[in-house]
Structure 1
């Protein structure tokens, strides 16, 4: 594999940033829409968001197969254009039925990003820089989350909600234009690679790989558990801190902000670690165990100091960030060459499944007046995740 030009990594990071912007557009604009439209309420918008996530979860694994067959860059461009057009259309069509249809289309497009992005990086980045490439990819998604509230609310305040939807679509189409010139080159390369693989298969009589293997399933579970532990802190820690620790809304949000910022820093550090060490399972295991211990301290201790809580949650964020590149390297290690899209598509579905289960579980804990259960849950899920990561390490499965 040749070392890719920086432009390739930059393009992938830009598309990942756009994908995270699109994931937050509707939730961020929800309050403004409720004030300006009479045909919707919280439940209706919540249902539209659920449609987005459910469609993405259902189609992500099949999309991964298309990524391997058709070429990741082409599929990525198509997904980016379709998703961008769906959000753009919401700026012109103000009917609730269309909101549901558009979010279903956007969910389909969202399923493209992880399989395509990871396949492109796995096939083009040299081994010794793979961890840093994965970390920059993840970091770009965090940046997308960070800028979306300011971008969408600023546009909607100066213009209106429709213009905010239009802007979210237009920036995605601009990103697609950046990718298109390289797509034809990649298609030619992918056809050559396919012919080479076919010849190898005919010569060596390699058997067709199964869709799901025990290793792929274990990584699917790992992603699901990471989604549950991360979602408990990102989405419910503020409510838990207010109800269970007597901390104000402002101070609880400061703690959550610390978690998000340190996670971004941790991802970059984790990329360096993933490149300097081949023991990706041990890195993930160690970080997960320490993070679980911190969550247990918060869950069991009568802490009321905002500073202490913020420091502890900030440490959890940093360690959670460190895990991400090693997590991705573990998946890459079990992905046969040429099947990266399929494998990443399957395991990434765990994020969507966890994102569906988590809110129900954590909402129930808060409704039952168990706010500390949020941190207990995080600790339990992290320990389970650590066990899977350690198993992958001792099993020592490598790329074929």
Structure 2
């Protein structure tokens, strides 16, 4: 008898593991580039400040440009994905990220950097609608939890790779060499995906073609689904959590607990590595979609308890990195179930549009949160930073359960 993957409960045979794994691996590689592109500039701010004669506020505004543009593109690109398929949109995004890297490297003024921040934002904006359309339509349902887990892990690795690659190159050569290397990396990944492009093509029957929409599946009907907007609110709060952890939490912990600078630098790396480990476990837990809300609540609930302890309790400095690791692991457990919540709210043939709108909440949150929490840092309210993080995590728990309660079908037009 030929080798065959195990069947689902409905006796429908699963495709070979190698087939699903190939799609998951290629999509994960693209997702790594997306997260990598989000940190192209921030690790190089000490060099760019002198080279461009810019303040940190001006350099931070480059990131605001990136995320605002990415937000708009992310919402719009979902429509392109549903109409033309994910593959051409993905290659366009990778090409633009690479172009932005080379453009940053060649920039001779602040405004040139700002222009290429727009290019980078456009490139970054396509990845989530593309990724989730490919995963949802090409990976078998019993393996989706693991697919989302691997997708989240590659995103965390992209964040970790950016400073690990760019800073040593900037020290050894220059910031221009570092950014040119970033552009080259994006184009190398694009070449790899091009060589494997047949695995990224959707079956004709699965693609949405112009005029193929059925009654009740009109282009904008999904915007009248309350669960979609609850998912958007969830990701808006999640972006705030990410922004606080990446930009302010380590320094706030240093000020509260006297953490040595060397340990402060390690806190974010430990958080990301442990988050990736949590996603591995979360992929197994997400095999039962009916418990997604409870897994999200447990993960972010534990993370909120850890954040509350860091913000209010007297702690030895050496305990802080370990607590960052615990917080990252707990948050990582919730990752795959978080993505399944969105999938359960997605109408047939609308993956690109729904994930585009929902994940645009990430960009909006990452554009807003630095303004709010940066003000707390400027005023020395370091405990307030941690309490704000706890509040955001509590909001994540509440919104996850509300996704389950609200309607998952379009409201009737007025």
Shared fold (TM-score greater than 0.5)? yes
- Show the counterpart of 2:396: 385
**Alignment-derived partner of residue 8 in structure 1:** 23
Q: Are 1:253 and 2:265 counterparts?
A: yes
Q: Deviations over 1:132-159 (max 9, x none)?
A: 1111111111111212212112323333
Q: 1:372 to 1:18 in 2, by over 3 A?
A: same
TM-score using structure 2 length = 0.87
CA contact (8 A) 2:74 2:356 kept: yes
Counterpart mapping for 1:210-289 below 5 A: 210-276=222-288, 278-289=290-301
Structure 2 unaligned runs (5+)?
1-13, 410-414
Q: Counterpart of 2:143?
A: 129
Matched, 1:27 2:38: no
Aligned length: 393
Partner secondary structure for residue 194 of structure 1: coil
User: What do you get for the CA RMSD once the two structures are aligned?
Assistant: 2.6
C-alpha distance in structure 2 between counterparts of 1:361 and 1:42, whole Å: 16
Single out whichever of 104-113 and 7-16 deviates more from structure 2.
7-16
Structure 1: unaligned runs, 5 residues or longer: none
SS of match in other structure, 1:306:
coil
- Cα pair 1:74 1:187 within 8 Å, conserved: no
Q: CA deviation at 1:162?
A: 2.1
Match of 1:15, SS state, is helix
From 159, 166, 169, the counterpart of 2:180:
166
Q: Cα distance, 1:304 vs. partner? A: 2.8
Does the CA-based 8 Å contact 1:71-1:190 persist in structure 2? no
Deviation of 1:45 (Å)? 2.5
| Aligned partner (choices 368, 381, 386) of residue 357 of structure 1 | 368
- Matching residue within 328, 332, 339 for 1:321: 332
**351, 356, 378: which one pairs with 1:367?**
378
Between 1:55-64 and 1:327-336, the stretch displaced more is 55-64
C-alpha separation between the residues in 2 aligned to 1:229 and 1:60? 20
- Counterparts of 1:130 and 1:390 in 2: how far apart (Å)? 21
Residues 196, 356 of structure 1: CA spacing in aligned structure 2 closer, same or farther, 3 A cutoff?
closer
> SS of the residue aligned with 1:152?
helix
User: Superposition pairs for residues 286-297 of structure 1, below 5 Å?
Assistant: 286-297=298-309
* Alignment partners' CA distance in 2, 1:195 and 1:231: 38
1:115 and 2:108 aligned: no
Displacement of 1:30 after TM fit?
2.1
Distance apart, 1:168 and its partner CA: 1.0
- Indicate the residue corresponding to 2:11 in structure 1: none
Q: Deviations over 1:199-249 (max 9, x none)?
A: x83xxx445224342111100000011111232223211221122233332
For 2:84, which of 57, 63, 70 is the aligned residue? Answer: 70
8 Å contact kept, 1:280–1:327: yes
- CA 1:17/1:186 → structure 2, altered by over 3 Å: closer, same or farther? closer
- CA 1:7–1:161 in structure 2 vs 1: closer, same or farther (change >3 Å)? same
TM-score (norm 1): 0.90
Bigger helix share? 1
Change (3 A) 1:207 1:176: closer
CA distance change for structure 1 residues 327 and 18 in 2, over 3 Å: closer, same or farther? Answer: same
SS in 1 for 2:62: helix
Deviations 1:273-320 (A, max 9, x none): 11255311111012222222222233332x231233333332111111
Q: CA deviation at 1:188?
A: 7.1
Residue of structure 2 aligned with 1:346, choices 341, 357, 365? 357
Q: Distance in 2 between matches of 1:149 and 1:170?
A: 16
| Shift in CA distance, 123/297, structure 1 to aligned 2, threshold 3 Å | same
Deviation at 1:103, TM superposition (A): 0.9
In 2: Cα distance, 1:94 partner to 1:275 partner:
51
Moved more, 49-58 or 38-47: 38-47
Taking a change above 3 Å as real, the CA distance of residues 51 and 178 of structure 1, as seen in their structure-2 partners, is same
Counterpart of 1:89?
A: 103
SS in structure 1 at match of 2:380: coil
